[in-house]
Amino acid sequence: MVRPTLIQVEQRAQVTARFMRKVSHKYIFDNLSEWRDRALLWLIRDEFTLANFSLIYSLVVLIIAMRQGIWPSLFAALLSFLCFNFFLVRPFYTFLVADPRELLDLVVFFIAASLSGRLASFAREQAENARRRADEQNLLYELTSALNQTGSPDGVFIVLKEVLHRLPLVTEVGILPWSETPPEGNATRFYLLMRTEDHGYGILHITFALPPNDVPTAVVNACAIQATLALQRIDLTERAQQSRNFEEADRLKTALLRAVSHDLRTPLTIIKTSISNLLNLYRTLPDADREDMLKTIEAEADQLNRMVGNLLDISRLEAGAMTLDRSLNSLEEVAGDVAARAWQLNHRERIKMIFPAQMPLVAFDYGLIMQALGNLVENALRYELESTQVEIEGSLCDGEARVAIRNHGPDILPEERQLIMEPFFRGKGGNLGLGLAIAKGIIETHCGALWLEDTPGGGATFVFSLPLTALEGDCAR
């Protein structure tokens, strides 16, 4: 024989005490008022007829049925039947009935009282069921609304726990790791598998203070199903995002292979040819030719280095692996460094800077913004007329710092405007489009924006904006 544990004994004692309190409250204390009313009616029994008393008793039974339910009302009807016979039907103070017609009255009274009590109790139960269903619907609606705003599995579990703790008699709610065979439950402890056809998310563990009926368990099942659907939605969303990332990576890989097959091979071929000529013809080549070949090798090596660096940068941007070292910096100082580097390369003053005197400091990564602005200026210088200068103008607008790089060369074709800042785009000059794409990615990583405008009189103006205050987390753009 298996002895009950201490916890099981305590649970049974709680159930018994709860049942006794319910019985004493419904069948004894709630009928004390009826006994008081009967004593009062007994004192005035000579002033009323039996019909009056039967109506009063029926009303009392009806009130008890509406307040307590069917069984207390039947108990009150039986008690009323006995008291009616004992106190109001001759001979008094006995259960004998002298007139057979009065026996018929008693039977009809008992049946009428029982039926009215049953109908009133049924109406009360329907009202309670309607209220309970409304509470359950409100609970499920709140759960569904909260789950729709949750984008992580941990958030789903937190919302589910908060909602289930609001159910009556619930003392503990937990989420266990997924397993095909959940632990064995008992009368107060339940384990529900949170799974779909192809994936399991966890095991819902819930404990009640007392053994529940079918209604709370049905609500728990409905909440668990809603949470499982939310977890499935999050899982499918993550899979779709991964699929998009894989497609983008595949597109990037294809473009990278194309770049390697042409743009990287060209400088390598030039370098290889120049080195071969130097090795084979070094003694016969004039000093000027040898110097030209060495300069060619240096220029092509620099071009190759820039191209490989751009490929690495665009790969980091596409993978979201670029980290920022933000600090307060001056955009005018960045523009000055870019202009100085352009002068070293061209030995001409081809850049004009226009910045207001009160340009505030902005939080950004100095090296990355300098790289982005350098790419934009390099692209503008490539198409700038020899007689004009590229303008770098700073301004403030709508809580943002803006920098415009103004070029006075040819206009950009309408069909190229949407593609010019895409990776690996080739313009009419045949250049591999990486610089603008890298600049756009760096600026957007800073929660800024880059767009294209027309230059008055001809040309293209690239404008980028940065927020004056650093934003935390993902950018809203």
Q: CATH number for the domain including 344? A: 3.30.565.10
Q: Please tell me the pTM assigned to this model.
A: 0.47
Q: What is the pLDDT of residue 175?
A: 83
Q: What is the pLDDT of residue 406?
A: 92
- The answer to whether residues 227 and 160 touch, using CB atoms and an 8 Å cutoff, is yes
The type of residue at 325 is D
- Give the model confidence (pLDDT) of 91-127 as tens digits: 777 766 666 666 676 677 677 767 776 777 777 778 7
Q: Is residue 163 part of a domain?
A: no
Torsional class of 448: left (φ above 0), alpha (ψ -120 to 50), beta (otherwise) = beta
Q: Which domain holds residue 374?
A: 327-467
What are all long-range contacts of 248-255, with beta carbons under 8 Å and residues at least 24 apart?
Answer: 248/318, 249/318, 249/319, 252/314, 252/315, 252/318, 252/423, 255/423, 255/424
**Chain mean pLDDT for the chain:** 76
Which of 107, 131, 155 is the last residue before a domain boundary?
A: 131
Q: Is residue 197 part of a domain?
A: no
Q: Is residue 71 part of a domain?
A: yes
Q: What is the pLDDT of residue 463?
A: 94
Pair (268, 346) in one structural domain? no
Q: What is the pLDDT of residue 180?
A: 66
Angle, vertex CA 135, rays to CA 132 and CA 137, nearest 5: 110
Q: Is residue 44 part of a domain?
A: yes
Pair (331, 448) in one structural domain? yes
Q: Which CATH number belongs to the domain containing residue 265 in this structure?
A: 1.10.287.130
Consecutive H or E run containing 474: none
Q: What is the pLDDT of residue 476?
A: 40
Pair (390, 296) in one structural domain? no
Q: What is the pLDDT of residue 272?
A: 86
- Stretches in the chain below the pLDDT threshold 70: 1-55, 57, 65-66, 69-70, 73, 84-85, 88-89, 95-103, 105-106, 109, 113, 117, 180-187, 214-215, 248-249, 251-263, 310-311, 313-322, 424-433, 470-477
Pair (458, 332) in one structural domain? yes
Q: Is residue 20 part of a domain?
A: yes
Q: Is residue 450 part of a domain?
A: yes
Pair (366, 424) in one structural domain? yes
Q: How far apart are CA 243 and CA 127, in angstroms?
A: 52
Radius of gyration of the chain (CA): 44
Q: Is residue 233 part of a domain?
A: no
Pair (100, 122) in one structural domain? yes
Pair (334, 299) in one structural domain? no
Give the count of domains, the chain: 3
Q: Is the peptide bond before 177 cis (omega within 30 degrees of 0)?
A: no
Pair (453, 336) in one structural domain? yes
Q: What is the pLDDT of residue 262?
A: 57
Which of 114, 131, 148 is the last residue before a domain boundary?
A: 131
Q: What is the pLDDT of residue 83?
A: 74
DSSP class of 469: S
Pair (431, 308) in one structural domain? no
**Token pair belonging to 448:** 């800024």
Which of 131, 155, 170 is the last residue before a domain boundary?
A: 131
Torsional class of 130: left (φ above 0), alpha (ψ -120 to 50), beta (otherwise) = alpha
- Residue from 455, 458, 464 nearest 406 by CA: 455
Pair (88, 16) in one structural domain? yes
Q: What is the pLDDT of residue 354?
A: 92
Q: Is residue 62 part of a domain?
A: yes
